[in-house]
Amino acid sequence: MRRRAIGSMASLTLGILAADPAIAADKDSDPGSGFVLDLRYRYAHINTEGYADPGTANTLRLTLGYLWAFAPNWSAYAEGTRVYGLFGDDYNSGANGKNKLPSEGDPPSSEISGAWLQYDDGTASARIGRQYVNLDNQRFFTSGLWRQNPQSFDALSASWRFDSGTTLRYLYLDNVTRSVGHDYPDPNQSAWSLTGHLLHVDQTLPLGTLTGYGYFVENRAQAKYSWRTEGLRWVGRQELGAGALSWSVEGAQQRGWRNNPARYAADYRLLEVGYGIPQLSLKLGNEVLGGDGSNAFSSPYGSNHGFNGWASEFKSVPVNGLDDRYISAFGKIGQDWGWLLTWHDFFAERGSRHYGSEWNAGLTWTIVRGLTAELDYATYHSDGFAVSERKLWAALEYKYGPQGGGG
């Protein structure tokens, strides 16, 4: 009943959350009105050990929306997303039955990717309807815009800012439309019915920002993803010499909750330290997701692609946990080019097993305002966990709209 109520309100708000953080729930300034367009073509080539042939995916994402700032502090947005398969579908999309080919999770689909009405006076804000939820580094909650189909939540979100540097946020989650798309043949994968309460507090410090959070989610479609996760996160940046030192420190614990039959406790730890000058940065990191041999820490509502390697071999954390040790180098070439190189080494958190290692490399080019090209490569070398795999993506994306619109 709650899911239908919020879904009905969402459809009446004339709004769908934009595909860009520039149109975020906590944006201070008046976003203005106008159309939003996000058009992205992507080619993917997947070579997976054990398959006779590689997979090749050509997909096009079309997102159209309209942002309406209809009164001071009030706005509404409407958006729809369609994903097209081009030039055949020589890959396993999860929906086309081509199980003899490697997989790439971008099936064709059409959906209303959000619908919201918002009030924001710069101090207090509230949004109701279907919306993207991106918290912190998007590890636990994300819009998942790496995939062609976005992930959106039927939700009520609110935030308050105080002169002390404190920001309080609360979100009630009622339903999630997942990145496999609305038209995915398995209804238990395309959308999940939730009862979620997300509490989030940011406090500005003399050095960085301290965040405390408590996420309490009951998943009525997939009980194994009903959990409570509570943690602290400290991030900051400090000028040092000719460059800047940056850091992220985070710790959390997750426990099975409500209808989850597993009564487990799993820890999460993150430590990142980086140093960079304007054209070059280096970062060392270690992310640990715990496991007890039967259950492991999970983040089904968060980003997969941005963590633990682009090949996405660890969409589900092994029951003995995951210890990801990595080093990254990234920077800019002139004003229009960006690059990234990352190496991961994967171990079990429980025991000493080595899972494998992975290289990631990326290159971006801003051709003109709103038009970008991107080339990404991932190669995972298995040491007995999953199978070795190589993936190549090439994308061309155009974004237009208020404050950058869809980008």
Residue tagged 């993207």 (tokens)? 132
Residue tagged 């940011």 (tokens)? 202
Mean confidence (pLDDT) of the chain:
91
State the amino acid at position 105 in one-letter form. Answer: G
pLDDT at position 203 over 60: yes
Convert the pLDDT of each residue in 57-100 to its tens digit. 999 999 999 999 999 999 999 999 999 999 888 999 999 999 99
The pLDDT value recorded for residue 278 is: 85
Q: How far apart are CA 153 and CA 188, in angstroms?
A: 15
- Window from 3-12, 77-86, 172-181, 339-348 with minimum mean pLDDT: 3-12
Q: How far apart are CA 177 and CA 153, in angstroms?
A: 6
pLDDT band at 403 (very low <50, low <70, confident <90, very high): low
Could you tell me which residues come within 8 angstroms of residue 195 by beta carbon, excluding any fewer than 6 positions away? 2, 173, 174, 217, 218, 220, 258
Q: How far apart are CA 54 and CA 328, in angstroms?
A: 28
At 397, list the tokens: 């994306």
Q: How many domains does the chain have?
A: 1
Convert the pLDDT of each residue in 297-314 to its tens digit. 999 999 988 899 999 999
Residue-number span of the structural domain to which 305 is assigned:
2-404
Q: How many CA atoms lie within 13 A of 262 on its CB side?
A: 22
- Residue 41 CB burial class (10 angstroms; 0-12, 13-18, ≥19): middle
Q: How far apart are CA 143 and CA 157, in angstroms?
A: 15
Which residues are paired to 117 by β-bridges? 76, 128
Residue tagged 């009105």 (tokens)? 33
Q: How far apart are CA 56 and CA 88, in angstroms?
A: 9
Q: What share of the chain is helix, strand, coil (3-state, %, to 5)?
A: 5, 55, 40
Q: What is the CATH number of the domain that holds 104?
A: 2.40.160.10
* Host H or E run for residue 397: strand 389-400
- Residue 124 to residues 120, 146, 291, 315: CA-CA distances in angstroms? 6, 30, 39, 36
Which residues are paired to 124 by β-bridges? 160
